[in-house]
Structure 1
């Protein structure tokens, strides 16, 4: 089994967010694009890495942290509303590091897999290949 039928696949980086859902079966998944939610980027962003990072613009780090916080708030809300029973998160390593500390306990319970990889903008076929790797 790769991913169960109905699994939501959330793909994120510091500025983008994509949703796919498995409309196929467990053995032969088919990932279809989902409507994108409007994220609340003005909520409270909390990052574990507030210090200055050499070679990285601090303003862009704040934007990335706000985006990551908005993504995880949305995912937590969907899980708590029982609209997501199975979840896969694919995110750039930095974004995944921003997301993890904010996972609700129920999100952790439905999380089937995490992949630390840049996959924003990739096709469903490419995403499935990354999940099979």
Structure 2
């Protein structure tokens, strides 16, 4: 990770994947961060795809051709919806002035989904994006991943 990353006092760190989001606030300074959990969001349980969609995939017809339509991945859909909800919370915090600066850490697919939903004001406040799933790590390890040697 970038050793020059300096999270300002009261800066926000969003650590998210498709099912969990941690909102951390830096209570320390930009040299010695002290991340504290502000909020934890969990997506509701998502049953197996076989329990959600029992019908076989559909087919389309057109121009004397047939084509199969792939089965919907309900888990991916749920993760996309969760990422949109998380991004909306970040957008809301930005619009109320509660967001000073933000670092976003998420696996690639979630990071891409978050980007599509962030407002332009949030995009301007993003200090760094970390392509890594850190949701299962304790806070002190998250600090070490973001600011090595701190």
Q: Does 1:109 align with 2:146?
A: no
Aligned equivalent of 1:119: 134
Q: Which has the higher strand share?
A: 2
C-alpha distance after superposition, 1:21-60 (max 9, x if no partner): 1000110001111134698xxxxxxxxxxx959xxx7010
Equivalent residue number for residue 34 of structure 1: 38
Name stretches of at least 5 consecutive residues in structure 2 with no aligned partner.
Answer: 44-68
Q: Does the 8 Å contact 2:16/2:110 carry over to 1?
A: yes
Contact 2:87 2:117 in 1 (8 A): yes
Deviation of 1:110 (Å): 1.1
Task: Provide the residue aligned with 1:95 in structure 2.
Answer: 110
TM-score between the two structures when normalised by the length of structure 2: 0.72
Give the Cα–Cα distance (whole angstroms) in 1 for the partners of residues 107 and 70 of structure 2.
20
Which structure has the bigger radius of gyration?
A: 2
TM-score by length of 1: 0.81
Matched, 1:16 2:20: yes
Q: 2 CA distance for matches of 1:21 and 1:14?
A: 21
Unaligned residue ranges in structure 1 (runs of 5+)? 40-50
Question: Could you tell me which residue of structure 1 aligns to residue 89 of structure 2?
Answer: 74
Provide the aligned length of Structure 1 versus Structure 2: 119
